[in-house]
Structure 1
């Protein structure tokens, strides 16, 4: 099962130092324009090749994020097929994050 949260919920989780792995699956130029601090960068176009090196714990709390939530949902579905257990999609993506005025890093 894939859970869904919005950027306000993600911000609260990060502020509470909850144990999670935030994965940004946008492409390089999008990442370079700005991303959420602490995110791992695994672009969707290279996801099948890169995920295994970055994501060792199949029970870790993974939150996937892209621009608006569509690509990250695809990445969640891919990981579900690889037996990952704890998947959450950031449904409003980095657009929602920025619309709420939350900080991004470059």
Structure 2
């Protein structure tokens, strides 16, 4: 019976991982690809870090909407749910959580920066 539950758990995790990777509504892009996409046209670029983190440095054109603030969803109402929203945070953790929340609230396309602002800064130094 223990083997059955272990097998079931493995199948569930594999299935969930496969679904997450194939979900067209949520994409995670490497810094080089992310940079190309945000430069192609006017995009909805959102930095979900705190205002202090944002003031220490951010991607040009980003709007700061603190994911940890109680007003996060209220502030996100200013964005077009039918258009892609490009998110990033420090390392990718908060932006992934923000992406899940936004998808649950009707946003149709979320693009996250792989590795967050830390990866962006390292990429920009190259």
TM-score bracket for the superposition, by shorter chain length: 0.7 to 0.9
- From the two aligned structures, give the one with the greater helix fraction: 2
The alignment's C-alpha RMSD in Å is 1.4
Larger RCO: 1 or 2 (CA < 8 Å, sep 6+): 1
Distance 1:65 1:14, change over 3 A: same
Aligned partner of 2:75 in structure 1 is 50
Which whole-Å CA distance do the structure 1 matches of 2:100 and 2:91 have between them? Answer: 16
Alpha-carbon distance, 1:19 to partner: 4.1
Aligned partner of 2:87 in structure 1 is 64
Report the count of equivalent residues: 99
Aligned partner of 1:2 in structure 2 is 26
Q: 2:60 aligns with which of 37, 58, 65?
A: 37
Instruction: Point out 4+ residue stretches in structure 1 off by more than 3 angstroms.
Output: none
Q: Which runs of 5+ in 1 are unaligned?
A: none
Please tell me whether the aligned partners of residues 38 and 45 of structure 2 are also in contact (alpha carbons under 8 angstroms): no
Q: Normalized against structure 2, the TM-score is what?
A: 0.72
Q: Normalized against structure 1, the TM-score is what?
A: 0.85
